[in-house]
């Protein structure tokens, strides 16, 4: 028979969850909060637009808030995904000299290591 304490969340468990998944928790919380705020302020804008056009604000239907909210959301996500895709593709093919991601930094590092190894080898071969 399982005890009640084994199914309850302890402060130690919460601390471990925060330590292990803090980035996911923070980003997920920011996403949920911003999505809720997007829905609230979108509703206000939708109602104002409907009143300006002499229409009635509805939640569902062809001209309902859900339709507009879905369109706004997917347009936003589409532009964000496109932006990230372009950034990834350009980062793959283009180089900024001296940046940590560029190949020139690696090549310079390998040349420096080769010079150091050569110097160490020459010092170890000297008599004395």
Domain coordinates in residue numbering, the chain? 10-94, 95-128
For the whole prediction, is pTM greater than 0.85? no
How far is 125 from 113, CA to CA, in rounded Å?
18
**Has residue 80 got a pLDDT over 80?**
yes
How far is 4 from 110, CA to CA, in rounded Å?
59
Quote the mean pLDDT of the chain. 81
The answer to whether 72 touches 42, Cβ cutoff 8 Å, is yes
The mean pLDDT of 77-86, rounded to a whole number, is: 86
pLDDT at 3: 53
Report the 10 Å Cβ neighbour count for 68.
16
pLDDT at 104: 58
**Has residue 102 got a pLDDT over 80?**
no
pLDDT per position as a tens digit, 4-39: 555 567 888 888 888 888 888 998 999 899 989 999
How far is 42 from 122, CA to CA, in rounded Å?
72
For 7-11, 51-55, 63-67, 88-92, which range has the lowest pLDDT when averaged over its residues? 7-11
């Amino acid at each position: 028979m399982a005890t009640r304490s084994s199914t309850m969340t302890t402060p130690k468990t919460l601390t471990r969850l925060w330590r292990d998944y803090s980035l996911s928790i923070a980003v997920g919380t920011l996403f949920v909060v911003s999505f809720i705020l997007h829905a609230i302020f979108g509703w206000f804008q939708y109602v104002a637009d409907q009143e300006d056009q002499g229409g009635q604000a509805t939640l569902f239907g062809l001209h309902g808030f859900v339709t507009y909210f879905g369109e706004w959301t997917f347009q936003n996500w589409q532009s964000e995904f496109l932006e990230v895709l372009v950034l990834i593709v350009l980062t793959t093919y283009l180089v900024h000299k001296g940046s940590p991601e560029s190949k020139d930094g690696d090549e310079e590092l390998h040349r420096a290591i080769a010079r150091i190894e050569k110097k160490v080898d020459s010092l170890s071969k000297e008599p004395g």
